[in-house]
Amino acid sequence: MKICIGIISYFPDGDKRNVRIDRANKVIEDCNKLFNLPIIIIAQNWHDVECKRDNVQLFKYNKLGITGARKELRKKFLESEYDYMIMLDDDAKLVGTQEDAKTYLHQIEMHPGARYGVYKTYLLKLFAISKEMFKEIDYPEGDAENGDFFEDMYLIMALEKKWPSRKFLFTRTSLNDVSDSANDPDSTWYHKQFNKHDIGDRTRAMIKELK
């Protein structure tokens, strides 16, 4: 089974740019230390940034937005040689050991075919999905940046509603993504300008309408 890691990234202009570049570099280092897998990055506004690592494949864009980047990552994954993708953001904070990572990867290998694995409820942090499964679903239009819906919550809830039997829950170890995007002062999009409960309600309403 060929497994890759998929990351969406956006580097803002201005004083937060170097902070976000440093974070993304740390994510790549941690992924390589723990997993040593190929990495696909949807790299927005990386015009002056390179990543000279043999296992990293960059796809550069100006700005796609959060949902747009998710859609593009899905597209690149479906076009790739890989069977499964582990999803992370460029501000992930990974903790754990290589043994934990081996346990995590073994659980993916034990669930071939059209399956998806949830690590954290309604978050695409160490979420894993097979190519066969991702062919069956895409994200709707809209963006969290506009207060429309949460694309991560939508994807997992939609999968759970339409294909509950294809889900598996990872057995948790000390491996984790401990980033807290809801309270991050260096977030590239969320500065408490929206009521997140309202966005969650809109997301749940979209799921309710799914057939």
What CATH number does the domain containing 105 carry? Answer: 3.90.550
Note whether residue 202 is domain-resident: no
Query: In the numeric block, which tokens belong to residue 182?
Result: 């809801």
- Asked if the structure places residue 174 within a domain, the reply is yes
What is d(CA 178, CA 181) in angstroms, rounded to the nearest whole number? 10
Residue 156 lies inside a defined structural domain of this protein: no
β-pairing verdict for 84-89 and 127-130: antiparallel
Structural tokens at position 12: 């803002």
Residues 6+ apart with CB under 8 A from 95: 174, 175, 176, 178
pLDDT over threshold 70, residue 74: yes
| Residue 172 dihedral angles phi and psi, to the nearest 5° | -80, 140
Whether the pLDDT of residue 118 is over 50: the answer is yes
The DSSP annotation for 174-193 comes to S-EE---GGG-TT-SS-SS-
**What integer pLDDT is reported at residue 192 of this predicted model?**
52
Could you list the residue range(s) of the whole structural domain that residue 139 is in?
Answer: 3-143+163-192
pLDDT band for position 143 (50/70/90)?
confident
Q: Is 173 among the domain residues?
A: yes
pLDDT (0 to 100) of residue 79? 98
pLDDT above 90 for 184: no
Non-local CB neighbours of 166 within 8 Å, separated by 6+ positions: 114, 115, 116, 133, 159
The span from the CA of 23 to the CA of 92, in Å, is 8
Asked if residue 158 belongs to a domain, the reply is: no
Radius of gyration over every alpha carbon of the chain, rounded to an integer in angstroms: 16
Inform me whether the pLDDT recorded for 195 exceeds 80.
Answer: no
Q: What is the pLDDT of residues 33-69, one digit of tens each?
A: 999 999 999 999 998 888 888 899 999 999 999 999 9
In whole angstroms, give the CA distance from residue 202 to residue 149.
Answer: 6
| Residue 163: closest CA among 138, 137, 141, 139 | 137
> How far from each other are the two terminal CA atoms of the chain, in whole angstroms?
32
Q: What is the mean pLDDT of residues 109-113?
A: 97
pLDDT at position 194 is 58
Instruction: Indicate whether 19 belongs to any domain.
Output: yes
Average pLDDT over residues 79-97: 96
Q: How many domains does the chain have?
A: 1
Q: Which of 64, 77, 9 is nearest to 37 (CA)?
A: 77
Reply yes or no on whether the pLDDT at 197 is more than 80: no
Residue 59 placed within a domain: yes
**Integer Cα distance of 168 and 115 in angstroms:** 7
Per the domain annotation, does 152 fall within a domain?
no
